[in-house]
Chains A and B, each alone.
Chain A
């Protein structure tokens, strides 16, 4: 057999039986050696599987910052809010810590700007629009 001892060839025996190949592996020392190792590795990895406790992890996934989990809808809304802010804001010089962060923070439904002067809820209910005088550091602290 021209592919004697080839791992990628023998690996197929771990997934489905190939009688001809298995019969060859029984007779061929090189293939038998490699197959023993492949089966040993598979047995070790298989026995490790399923031992972990993971039930508590879902709550952490759903608690992740929601700005990451609204995909295209939120990206679109964020862009619209940014355009609104640019159009509505007075032309004042921006400080270094202002910029994209504002847009992200404003569009996060987890934040609440109801009591903030100069802020109002967007018609969609998913975010707020504020005057640009609100510093990014304030937004980031929410």
Chain B
């Protein structure tokens, strides 16, 4: 009985995801709320980049976390919460966009640049309102699938292996898709980036 009454350690910013997932799976709602607070900004940004309207992103974010809460008991790898919840977000977004099966991997292959793209100077690169607009537009030129894969890697730092699992792709496919998305993004961004390095 004393064991049952024993208090769990307080949740702090240092509490790892793995511990929060275990506690949330045990029914501790504060642990799930902590996971929400830790990842909601990233999930919402991911969904905004996919759905491209703030209201749709808000709805999809709520749906994503509601699904995550419902399915949390099924998450075996407690330290993979971020990859897992972004996978759910991707599914929610694709459902919202009613992606057809022929929204294929090679949808935007024809635009794949073949010339060498000059490189920008990363130092002092400032994302002002104007550049952010161009950046969002450049992302929007990618197919939905490819955009989701690129965002998972570049914006959210997921491992290629985690992205492969989320999409059901092989590792070489993931690398190829992200590479192609990167090239297209660079071509779209280049005219708006100041400075150039040889």
A54 touching B41 by the CB < 8 A rule? yes
B122 touching A7 by the CB < 8 A rule? no
Chain B residues lying within 8 Å of A64, measured Cβ to Cβ, are 62-63, 66, 69
Q: Can you list, as one digit per residue, whether each of B32-61 has a CB less than 8 Å from chain A (1) or not (0)? A: 010011001110110010000000001101
**Residues 64 to 80 of chain B near chain A (Cβ within 8 Å):** 65-67, 69-70, 72-73
**Residues 100 to 153 of chain B near chain A (Cβ within 8 Å):** 116-117, 119-122, 125-127, 131-132, 135
Q: Which of B40, B125, B175 contacts A54 (CB 8 A)?
A: B40
Chain A residues lying within 8 Å of B48, measured Cβ to Cβ, are 52
Closest to A43 in B: B125
Q: Is the interface of B mostly helix, strand, loop or mixed?
A: helix
Closest to A56 in B: B58
Q: Is the interface of A mostly helix, strand, loop or mixed?
A: helix
A36 touching B197 by the CB < 8 A rule? yes
**Interface bracket on B:** 35 or more
**Cα–Cα, bound, A32→B197 (Å):** 9
Q: Which of B41, B73, B132, B197 contacts A71 (CB 8 A)?
A: B73
Chain A residues lying within 8 Å of B131, measured Cβ to Cβ, are 44
The CB with the most chain B CB atoms within 10 A, among A7, A37, A71, is that of A37
The CB with the most chain B CB atoms within 10 A, among A40, A45, A50, is that of A40
**Residues 7 to 38 of chain A near chain B (Cβ within 8 Å):** 7-8, 29, 32-34, 36-37
Chain B residues lying within 8 Å of A57, measured Cβ to Cβ, are 40, 44, 58, 61-62, 65
Chain A residues lying within 8 Å of B132, measured Cβ to Cβ, are 48
Q: Can you list, as one digit per residue, whether each of B84-97 has a CB less than 8 Å from chain A (1) or not (0)? A: 00000000000000
Known contacts A45-B154, A48-B127, A58-B33; 18 additional CB pairs below 8 A are: A8-B175, A36-B120, A36-B197, A37-B119, A39-B122, A42-B122, A42-B154, A43-B125, A44-B131, A45-B155, A49-B42, A52-B41, A56-B58, A57-B40, A58-B40, A60-B62, A64-B63, A69-B70
B interface residues, Cβ below 8 angstroms from A: 33, 36-37, 40-42, 44-45, 48, 58-59, 61-63, 65-67, 69-70, 72-73, 116-117, 119-122, 125-127, 131-132, 135, 154-155, 160, 175, 179, 182, 185-186, 189, 193, 197-198
